[in-house]
């Protein structure tokens, strides 16, 4: 046999063995499935229990006729298991679907509620608008009936219910104007003005209210065309709490004279209304209008302090104090800033230097010296220490000189020339290069009759400050003309309209100015009029004092050149008022001549009354208005003088003399507002 045959036999052999095993297994299984019948007794139960095991049978009785109660199953091991990701995803989707459904239902509810609220609001708005219309119509009917108080109340209700309705505000303004006219007819000028301001508050474009307001102010005795008057009224109203009325007056003043002061007032009102940004803009515009107006810098500094910009605040407040040393609010605020800086870093010398400067500017020289001492202890080599102390010494000297200057001005205003000369001499000794002191020296010398000395003092003042001493040059020219006229003519001439005096000068100076003859002071009070001044004080520095008495005799001197220039200018100026009035009617000439005679007797009030009577018959006479303005200026009635001169310039705007005298009067008025002689010490002891 081959090997292949052997392999086949083995294969079939194995198959036969496997087949026999399978058959044997099947056979054995079939034999075991035939169960043997059990002949044992059944399991015991209650019916078959015998007496032997009855005591051990404790099984409870159960009624199978009733549904059985389910017994609690033991806790499952799957109860606390963690959900798998599929179950977690399913649960999350179910929750999101429930939330979305709930949100949709909630949105529907909110939309329905909003719709109901909107409808209710529309209904309420319609009702309010209808109420406003009814109130407006009722107010109109009451106004037609002359029941102004009730009409105004109804119009105010209409404006309250519908503030955006311009017609309602216009009707309210008209009702207030109507009631104001009634009060004006009853001569209740204050009440009428109040109503006209309220009318302008309701409607700013009510031209009739503005016109009637000016009429009420005029009937009350004030000129409504002067911005000063409107500002004063506004200040009174603001002090009494009537901010709306004050704002109206400030706005009217803004239209008359948009100056720095008016801008500051508008800024103050913005601050009171809580509008800090608007106030800051107003103050900045005021500084642009007039960089030398101290209150604008002070208010700017205070706003910067509110904004915690202490660097800008200190700069503005310092400027305010320099411009007006009496501005206590600015001075205290500046000191407060530097005190805070010192408290934050007391070891820094620069802070003490800043505080010393603040004390010095406010006049507290003792405290300033103490701060400089602190700087010396902290930083002896500080470069600013020595200049600061020198500045303090100059400030103390200037304060002393200012005391003498103030006393001299008081004495000059009272006609006490010798006392004024004594005081101003001490001021000049302290500050010989102060042009103002030199000018006052000239006034005192002129008042005492020393014309040559006065000319030298005026000349020195011009040399020190030629740009701002036109007045000193004019006084030199006047004195020269008086000296020339006193030797050629003794007949009195009308007072020159270009020589309107300041009210703080003695009346003795006014009598000879422009009359063609020397004043009593220069004519007979001093026999040494033509002698050069040889006082013990210097009128200028050492280089100028060497000129001595040759100052006026040298034809090539600067004085002579200045006088020649003034004479040339005088030739080109318009003719005096007397020559201009020759072309007027005889009645005007007679009035002016009578006025001249009264002024020669120093009866300025009588001359003013005469001119006012003449104006009653001819209100358009510019010459009489101009002459009345000068007469009032001589009598010290500055505000009325400015008003008359303003009218004269308006009636004849081409007359340069009128405009020049108006500018001069305005300058005098401004100086009188900034200088208070009554507050100055007569004896120069304190300030």
Q: What is the pLDDT of residues 137-154, one digit of tens each?
A: 988 899 888 889 889 999
Q: What residues contact 206, with CB distance under 8 A and at least 6 apart? A: 170, 173, 174, 177, 199, 200
Are both 439 and 535 inside the same structural domain? Answer: yes
594/556 same-domain check: no
Q: Are residues 282 and 340 in the same domain?
A: yes
Q: Which residue has the tokens 């109206």?
A: 248
Name every residue whose Cβ is closer than 8 Å to that of residue 73 and which is 6 or more positions away in sequence. Answer: none
423: enclosing H helix or E strand = helix 417-430
464 Rama sector, left if φ>0, alpha if ψ -120 to 50, beta otherwise: alpha
The CATH number of the domain where 311 resides is what? 1.25.40.10
Q: Residues of the chain whose pLDDT is less than 50?
A: 488-584, 675-687
Domain tally, the chain: 3
CATH number at residue 462: 1.25.40
Three-state DSSP state, 210: helix
Please state whether the predicted TM-score (pTM) of the whole model is above 0.85.
no
Q: End of a domain among 553, 572, 591? A: 572
Q: Nearest-CA neighbor of 148 among 192, 201, 200?
A: 192
Residue 505 placed within a domain: yes
Considering the domain architecture, whether residues 549 and 591 belong to the same structural domain is answered as no
Res 38: pLDDT: 61
Residues 452 and 551 occupy one common structural domain: yes
Q: Are 341 and 372 in contact (CB under 8 A)?
A: no
Residues in the chain: 687
Residue 675, φ and ψ in degrees, nearest 5: -120, 130
pLDDT of 12: 67
424 near 437, Cβ under 8 Å?
A: yes
Confidence at residue 52, expressed as pLDDT on a 0 to 100 scale: 52
The CA distance from 512 to 517, in Å, is 6
Decide if 37 is inside a domain.
no
Residues 568 and 593 in one domain: no
Q: What is the DSSP string of 93-120?
A: HHHHHHHHHHHHHHHHHHHHHHHHHHHH
Residues 469 and 568 in one domain: yes
Report residue 449: phi and psi, to 5°.
100, 0
Question: Is 645 domain-assigned?
Answer: yes
Helical packing angle, 349-361 and 365-378, nearest 10°: 170
- Predicted pLDDT at 96: 92
Domain-located, residue 634: yes
Q: Which of 519, 548, 572 is the last residue of a domain?
A: 572
Task: Judge whether 458 lies within some domain.
Answer: yes
Answer whether 641's CB lies under 8 Å from 633's CB: yes
531 in the same domain as 475: yes
Query: Quick one: pLDDT at residue 455?
Result: 87
List own/partner pairs for 210-213 with CB under 8 A and 24 or more apart. Answer: 210/252, 212/177, 212/180, 212/181, 212/184, 213/248, 213/252
Angle between helices 310-323 and 294-306 (to 10 degrees): 160
In a domain? residue 622: yes
**Longest CA–CA separation in the chain, Å:** 189
Domain-located, residue 599 = yes
Please compute Rg for the chain using Cα positions: 53
Clarify whether residues 332 and 371 are in a common domain: yes
State residue 523 phi and psi, 5-degree precision. -90, -40
Domain of residue 645 covers 580-679
Residue 437 and residue 540 share a domain: yes
If asked whether residues 541 and 636 sit together in one domain, one would say no
In degrees, to the nearest 5, what angle opens at C-alpha 252 toward C-alphas 229 and 670?
A: 40
Average pLDDT, the chain: 75
Q: Do 650 and 671 belong together in one domain?
A: yes
SS3 for 195?
helix
- Residue pair 647/665 in contact (Cβ under 8 Å)? The answer is no
- CA angle 448/485/602 to nearest 5° reads 60
Distance from C-alpha of 568 to C-alpha of 509, rounded to nearest angstrom: 24
The pLDDT of residue 502: 39
SS3 state of residue 676: coil
Tokens of 502: 């300041």
The pLDDT of residue 608 is 83
Query: Among residues 572, 588, 614, which one ends one of the domains?
Result: 572
Q: Give pLDDT, residue 31.
A: 55
- Whether 559 is in a domain gets the answer yes
What is the spatial distance between Cα 262 and Cα 282, in angstroms, rounded to a whole number? 9
* pLDDT score recorded for residue 301: 92
């Amino acid at each position: 046999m081959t090997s292949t045959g052997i392999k086949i036999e083995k294969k079939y052999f194995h198959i036969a063995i496997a087949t026999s095993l399978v058959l044997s297994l099947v056979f054995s299984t079939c034999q075991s499935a035939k169960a043997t019948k059990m002949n044992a007794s059944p399991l015991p139960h209650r019916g078959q229990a015998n007496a032997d095991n009855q005591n051990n049978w404790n099984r409870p009785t159960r009624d199978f006729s009733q549904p059985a109660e389910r017994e609690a199953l033991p806790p499952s091991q799957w109860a606390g298991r963690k959900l798998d990701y599929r179950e977690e995803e399913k649960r999350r989707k179910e929750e999101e679907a429930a939330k979305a459904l709930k949100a949709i239902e909630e949105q529907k509810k909110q939309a329905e509620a909003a719709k109901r609220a909107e409808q209710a609001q529309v209904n309420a708005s319609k009702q309010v608008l209808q109420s406003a219309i009814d109130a407006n119509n009722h107010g109109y009917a009451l106004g037609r009936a002359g029941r102004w108080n009730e009409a105004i109340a109804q119009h105010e209700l209409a404006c309250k219910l519908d503030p955006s309705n311009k017609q309602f505000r216009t009707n309210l303004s008209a009702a207030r104007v109507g009631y104001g006219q009634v009060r004006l007819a009853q001569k209740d000028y204050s009440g009428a003005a109040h109503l006209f301001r309220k009318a302008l508050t309701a409607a700013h474009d009510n031209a009739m209210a503005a016109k009637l307001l000016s009429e009420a102010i005029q009937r009350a005795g004030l000129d409504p065309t002067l911005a000063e008057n409107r500002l004063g009224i506004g200040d009174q109203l603001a002090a009494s709490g009537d901010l709306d009325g004050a704002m109206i007056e400030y706005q009217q003043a803004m239209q008359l004279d948009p100056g720095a002061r008016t801008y500051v007032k508008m800024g103050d009102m913005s601050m009171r209304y809580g509008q800090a940004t608007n106030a800051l803009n107003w103050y900045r515009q005021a500084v642009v209008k007039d960089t030398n107006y101290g209150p604008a810098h002070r208010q700017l500094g205070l706003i910067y302090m509110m904004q915690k910009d202490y660097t800008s605040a200190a700069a503005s407040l310092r400027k305010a104090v320099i411009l007006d040393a009496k501005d206590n609010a600015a001075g205290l605020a500046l000191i407060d800033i530097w005190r805070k800086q010192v408290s934050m870093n007391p070891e820094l010398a620069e802070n003490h230097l800043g505080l010393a400067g603040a004390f010095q500017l406010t006049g507290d020289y003792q405290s300033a010296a103490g701060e400089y001492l602190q700087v010396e202890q902290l930083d002896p080599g500080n470069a600013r220490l020595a200049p600061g102390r020198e500045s303090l010494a100059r400030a103390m000297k200037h304060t002393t000189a200012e005391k003498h200057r103030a006393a001299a001005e008081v004495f000059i205003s009272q006609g006490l020339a010798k006392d004024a000369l004594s005081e101003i001499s001490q001021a000049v000794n302290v500050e010989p290069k102060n042009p103002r002191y030199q000018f006052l020296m000239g006034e005192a010398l002129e008042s005492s009759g020393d014309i040559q000395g006065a000319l030298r003092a005026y000349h020195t003042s011009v040399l020190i400050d030629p740009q701002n001493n036109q007045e000193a040059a004019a006084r030199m020219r006047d004195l020269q003309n008086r000296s020339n006229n006193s030797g050629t003519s003794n007949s009195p001439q009308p007072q020159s309209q270009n020589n309107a005096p300041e009210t703080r000068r003695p009346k003795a100076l006014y009598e000879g100015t422009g009359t063609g003859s020397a004043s009593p002071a220069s004519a007979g009070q001093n026999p040494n009029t033509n002698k050069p001044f040889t006082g013990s004080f210097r009128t200028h520095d050492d280089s100028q004092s060497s000129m001595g008495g040759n100052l006026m005799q040298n034809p090539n001197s600067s004085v002579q050149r200045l006088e020649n220039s003034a004479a040339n200018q005088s030739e080109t100026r318009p003719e005096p008022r007397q020559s201009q009035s020759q072309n007027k009617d005889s009645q005007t000439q007679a009035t002016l001549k009578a006025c001249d005679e009264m002024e020669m007797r120093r009866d300025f009030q009588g001359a003013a009354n005469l001119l006012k009577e003449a104006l009653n018959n001819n209100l358009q006479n510019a010459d009489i208005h101009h002459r009345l303005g000068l007469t009032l200026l001589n009598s010290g009635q500055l505000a009325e003088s400015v008003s008359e001169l303003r009218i004269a310039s308006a009636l004849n705007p081409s007359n340069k003399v009128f405009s020049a005298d108006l500018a001069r009067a305005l300058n005098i008025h401004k100086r009188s507002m900034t200088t208070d002689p009554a507050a100055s010490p007569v004896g120069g002891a304190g300030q």
